């Protein structure tokens, strides 16, 4: 599975390592992803998601079911 947050859609971005002599080589910046289990009360079951730290904050703020519905509307997650 790709390194993409299933809630916010954050993914890897590309940048440069810049040395003291100002030479540039490509590098990758990965999102802060965590594999986390959440309890979905409406269906009385656990859901495992790969979410970033910002995604966990979004779930805490808006609630799990509302966040899953918006992620599904954006096309980030198919079924949870």
CATH number for the domain whose boundaries are 13-74: 2.30.170.40
- Specify whether the CB–CB gap between 7 and 49 falls below 8 A: yes
The pLDDT of residue 11 is 96
Count, residues in the chain: 80
- pTM for the predicted model, two decimal places: 0.85
The pLDDT of residue 2 is 87
The pLDDT of residue 80 is 60
Nearest alpha-carbon partner for 10 in 35, 27, 30: 30
Provide the residue-wise pLDDT of the chain in tens; the chain has 80 residues: 589 999 999 999 999 999 999 999 999 999 999 999 999 999 999 999 999 999 999 999 999 999 999 999 999 988 76
The pLDDT of residue 39 is 97
Collapsed DSSP state (helix, strand, coil) of residue 27: strand
Cα(27)–Cα(8) distance, integer angstroms: 22
């Amino acid at each position: 599975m790709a390194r993409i947050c299933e809630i916010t859609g954050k993914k890897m971005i590309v940048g440069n390592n810049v040395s003291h002599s100002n030479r540039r080589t490509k590098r990758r910046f990965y999102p802060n992803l965590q594999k986390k289990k959440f309890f979905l009360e409406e269906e009385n079951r656990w859901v495992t998601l790969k979410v970033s730290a910002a995604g966990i904050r979004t779930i805490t703020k808006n609630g799990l079911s509302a966040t899953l519905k918006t992620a599904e509307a954006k096309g980030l997650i198919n079924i949870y």
